[in-house]
Structure 1
Amino acid sequence: MSESQIAVLTRVQQFLDRHHGLWIEGRQMVSDSEKRLEVFNPATGEVIASTADASAEDVDRAVMSGWRAFVARRWAGKLPAERERILLHFADLVEQHSEELAQLETLEQGKSINISRAFEVGCTLNWMRYTAGLTTKIAGKTLDLSIPLPQGARYQAWTRKEPVGVVAGIVPWNFPLMIGMWKVMPALAAGCSIVIKPSETTPLTMLRVAELASEAGIPDGVFNVVTGSGAVCGAALTSHSHIAKVSFTGSTATGKQIARVAADTLTGVTLELGGKNPAIVLKDADPAWVIEGLMMGSFLNQGQVCAASSRVYIEAPLFDTLVSGFEQAVKSLSIGPGMSPQAFINPLVSRAHCDKVQTFLDEARSHNAELITGNHVPDGKGYYVSPTLVVNPDANLRLTREEVFGPVVNLVRVTDGEEALQRANDTEYGLTASVWTQNISKALDYTDRLQAGTVWVNSHTLIDANLPFGGMKQSGTGRDFGPDWLDGWCETKSVCVRY
């Protein structure tokens, strides 16, 4: 258990103490609703801030602000090189305020300050600069026509890419800054306006980032933030008639609801949803690589990662060795507040989510499952769950089939790789998977046969701005990242000229 914590920056405390409104038209605005949403520190259970609980009327104001900015071409009308320059300046400002943003993230979400610094800010900066560079790479194509034309007629045809309009970005609570910017940056690079709705649990970092966007020179109305519940604020945003695209990261159930609403209005969607991600460990795998890679792949951010490995299928000859190795590794993990740099396991995001994860473990215990747990959690009101290995759980347990989204990993003995592959694919999800082996032929065979949008070999949870990411089956639709990322934020217009 770790006790030493870093000091909260004065400017962070000052931001927490503000009376936060909504960010619309480049400034803080008061909500039509008098309701407030409290923001809790997961390490203590104490209220650290409050934000507006936006009404449907507030959402309409934000969307129409974005619409007016789009129609006036305040942003889309700028030269691509000018948009790129502003977005790179935006990234520089985020870097200058990196410690402030990292602390806000840890205080409202609970994760390690090390993860907030390295992932939430460090990786976000990589994505911001990568995406800013795509601004000047948007291109159409010249095309030859194939239909018979009148004698002597001359035609020229081409396509051009145009921003779709006003887009909605709905952000989860597990990586509020990083995933938020996965929605903001491609929208802005393409020339769209965007309305962001962060999770009501973790709204603070996106409000601060919106201020930095304005400081960077992004015009008023182009980047708006509304805070509020999914039931009111989220529903009003996704069903608004002036929203051209919804980018959502979250649960499969909510994603399906958004898809149904979008179908009624023919609104485009990108959905990055749940996962029950398998790792297949073949008998020739390097045990040290497996333990190092899957400890990070499973317990990073307390397992609150959509891509986390939660089902590990291990060929029998290596099973006992790896169970012993994982047990030693789990029991070595320090548990404590996110503001303690020495703590690897930190509180979960909320009391409700903590209780939900505990119900999975309680059910497993009631069925006499073998559980290996890590160190004792700190006393007090923090939302802690000790990291837990579940050895050969019954296939009927909920934690074998449902996404737990916590520090819980199943270790399952299999007779061979074929059984592992069958069990890995036996799920409604298909987000990520990994295979661990020193046999390159087997590795390539399994990457073909695993039903997942991303498959890693001898690693897990490596995500890069240049590598498309998204799910199969019930894990979503569409892809983020990669050289063609902006295609999903643009319309393709065909032009044909007779001359």
Structure 2
Amino acid sequence: MNNPVTPQLSPATRQFLKGPLELFIDGRWGAGVAENSVASHDPATDDLLAHVAIGDGADIDRAVAAARKAFEGPWSRLSGFERADHLRRLSRLIDENAQTFIELEVLDNGMPLAIAQLTVSSTARLFEYYAGWAERIEGTTTTPPPHVLAAGEALTYTTREPVGVVGQIIPWNVPLSMAGLKLAPALAAGCTVVLKPAEDTPLSAILLARLIQQAGFPDGVVNVVNGYGRDAGAALVAHKDIDKISFTGSTDVGRAIIRSAADNLKKVSLELGGKSPVVVFDDADLDLAVPGVAMATFFLQGQNCMAGTRIFVHERIHDEFVARLVAFVGAFTLGHGLDPATQMGPLISKRQRERVQSYIASGIEEGAKLVLGGIAPEGAGNFLQPTIFTETRPDMRIVREEIFGPVMAIQRFSDPDLDVVARQANDSVFGLSGSVWTQNLSIAHRMAARIRSGHVSINCHGAVGPNIPFGGFKQSGWGREFGRDGLDLYLDTKAVTVKL
């Protein structure tokens, strides 16, 4: 493990961290009504980064009122072409400020440099992608009803209209990407937004709000209220003037959101937990599969919803696969994310590391074989070695529950019947992602068809992109993000009939 000393930061990042880092409501920056703040720490060093203002229910009220005023005012008068211009300006500004975003993502979250670079670039492309959709929102024409036609000529057509004021709640694992994933389609559709970042990682959302202001979005179109879930988040979900909630996070919180949103029947879309299966057949190319399966689990330190953490390996190659996997993962360099040599950074917090350690302990207690890792290195930061278990069973907690950390559980399979293998892969309450590793084209497609997940990759894992719908089956969520499906989440259909 490298010495987790914070590398030199760019002048722009240092200036940003000096603050003030405030709430953004109705085009203005300021402290919350209660004037509370939260400390942001570097998870790799425990160093204090900044103090960030946080809001509560009173601030959510102000933000929702501002969003409603903007929705019914200047934003509603812009055409799709004009909204697209705003989104493209924002995309360019993200590119121009990429280095600051990269450094903030690493400092706030702990992710390795290469991942931060990828997420910043992809976020800029996301706003550019949805700018194109803003120009292509279309209705249809259809046959008028018979009783109207009986009296003469008529016309029936549909329009696609924004759902209104949207509350968006994002997690801490890829903060900027999550903000972009929520904001871009909502703004393209013509909605206005109150965004609540995770209290653990608020920095990139604040910088993004500054660029939204710089890009010329009207006041109140986007409002950013940092705060705790129990205060700002709960108030946003329960607010009677919110037309839709979009949430990414845990399944338990998703259930609570559904109950709260039922009061005024606001629309809800949810991207929730996962426990994704990875199925490695005996003809898999191990030179491709070993690093691919390793990153399916350990990408972002395992702190991602589509992590492939349930690994099914054919018994014919099991031992060789495990040996090569242990050698590959055992060579990972742990360290500060801004060090280019780092392959795994820290977990987000001490609390999260303790949670993951409790799962590792349960795996050992339940009889799984620990073949790598499981140890928290001494020193500063929330580091945890990548952990691999073999000889696991379907009833073990490390196999059934989402750990959200760098823990892999490997099971053997031998039955040639794909239906049997699929039943094992689908033995989960989740159905978000998954992957199949084989050189047999028939097996690849047949197995992908049998896996009950919203997103399945073949000889790769987590192949997401702005144009590819992403979301889950079962308890992994409601709705799809990215692509046209992501835009549809923020549009309502209106039918109009005209008697001519």
TM-score range, shorter chain: over 0.9
Alpha-carbon distance in structure 1 between the residues aligned to 2:365 and 2:440: 40
- Aligned with 1:294: secondary structure? helix
The residue correspondences of 1:354-433 to structure 2 (distance < 5 A) are: 354-374=353-373, 378-417=377-416, 418=418, 419-433=420-434
Aligned residue in 2 for 1:182 = 181
Counterpart contact for 1:429–1:472, Cα < 8 Å: yes
- Aligned with 1:344: secondary structure? coil
Alpha-carbon distance in structure 2 between the residues aligned to 1:152 and 1:68: 42
Aligned residue in 2 for 1:112 = 112
Aligned residue in 1 for 2:439 = 438
- Aligned with 2:483: secondary structure? coil
Aligned residue in 2 for 1:135 = 134
Aligned residue in 2 for 1:456 = 457
When normalised by structure 1's length, the TM-score is 0.97
Alpha-carbon distance in structure 1 between the residues aligned to 2:79 and 2:433: 38
- The residue identity in structure 1 corresponding to 2:437 is W
**Once the 2 structures are TM-superposed, how far is the Cα of residue 448 of structure 1 from its aligned partner?**
1.6
Deviation string 1:87-122 (CA, Å, 9 cap, x unpaired) is 10100000000010110111011111221111x201
- The residue identity in structure 2 corresponding to 1:299 is F
The residue correspondences of 1:199-218 to structure 2 (distance < 5 A) are: 199-218=198-217
The residue correspondences of 1:34-433 to structure 2 (distance < 5 A) are: 34-72=35-73, 74-118=74-118, 120-149=119-148, 151=150, 153-374=152-373, 378-417=377-416, 418=418, 419-433=420-434
Counterpart contact for 1:280–1:421, Cα < 8 Å: no
Deviation string 1:245-289 (CA, Å, 9 cap, x unpaired) is 111000000001111111221111110000000011111111111
Alpha-carbon distance in structure 2 between the residues aligned to 1:426 and 1:216: 47
Counterpart contact for 2:273–2:402, Cα < 8 Å: yes
- Aligned with 1:470: secondary structure? coil
Alpha-carbon distance in structure 1 between the residues aligned to 2:385 and 2:366: 19
- Aligned with 2:278: secondary structure? strand
Alpha-carbon distance in structure 1 between the residues aligned to 2:166 and 2:262: 16
- The residue identity in structure 2 corresponding to 1:96 is E
**Once the 2 structures are TM-superposed, how far is the Cα of residue 152 of structure 1 from its aligned partner?**
5.3
- The residue identity in structure 2 corresponding to 1:91 is S
**Once the 2 structures are TM-superposed, how far is the Cα of residue 378 of structure 1 from its aligned partner?**
5.0
Alpha-carbon distance in structure 1 between the residues aligned to 2:157 and 2:35: 52
Aligned residue in 2 for 1:14 = 15
Identify the range of structure 1 (243-252 vs 18-27) with the bigger mean alpha-carbon deviation: 18-27
Identity among equivalent pairs (%): 38
**Once the 2 structures are TM-superposed, how far is the Cα of residue 394 of structure 1 from its aligned partner?**
3.7
- The residue identity in structure 1 corresponding to 2:17 is L
**Structure 1 runs not aligned, ≥5 long:** none
- Aligned with 1:406: secondary structure? coil
Counterpart contact for 1:334–1:375, Cα < 8 Å: no
- Aligned with 1:92: secondary structure? helix
**Once the 2 structures are TM-superposed, how far is the Cα of residue 375 of structure 1 from its aligned partner?**
10
Alpha-carbon distance in structure 2 between the residues aligned to 1:455 and 1:123: 20
Counterpart contact for 1:252–1:475, Cα < 8 Å: yes
- The residue identity in structure 2 corresponding to 1:438 is Q
- Aligned with 2:102: secondary structure? helix
Q: Sort the Cα spacing of 1:151 and 1:362 in 2 relative to 1 into closer, same or farther, 3 A.
A: closer
- Aligned with 2:220: secondary structure? coil
Alpha-carbon distance in structure 2 between the residues aligned to 1:436 and 1:156: 53
Deviation string 1:427-483 (CA, Å, 9 cap, x unpaired) is 100101111111111112112211111111111011011111100100000011123
Alpha-carbon distance in structure 2 between the residues aligned to 1:146 and 1:441: 47
- The residue identity in structure 1 corresponding to 2:113 is I
Counterpart contact for 2:393–2:411, Cα < 8 Å: no
- Aligned with 1:317: secondary structure? coil
Alpha-carbon distance in structure 2 between the residues aligned to 1:146 and 1:302: 57
When normalised by structure 2's length, the TM-score is 0.96
Alpha-carbon distance in structure 1 between the residues aligned to 2:170 and 2:319: 40
**Once the 2 structures are TM-superposed, how far is the Cα of residue 328 of structure 1 from its aligned partner?**
0.7
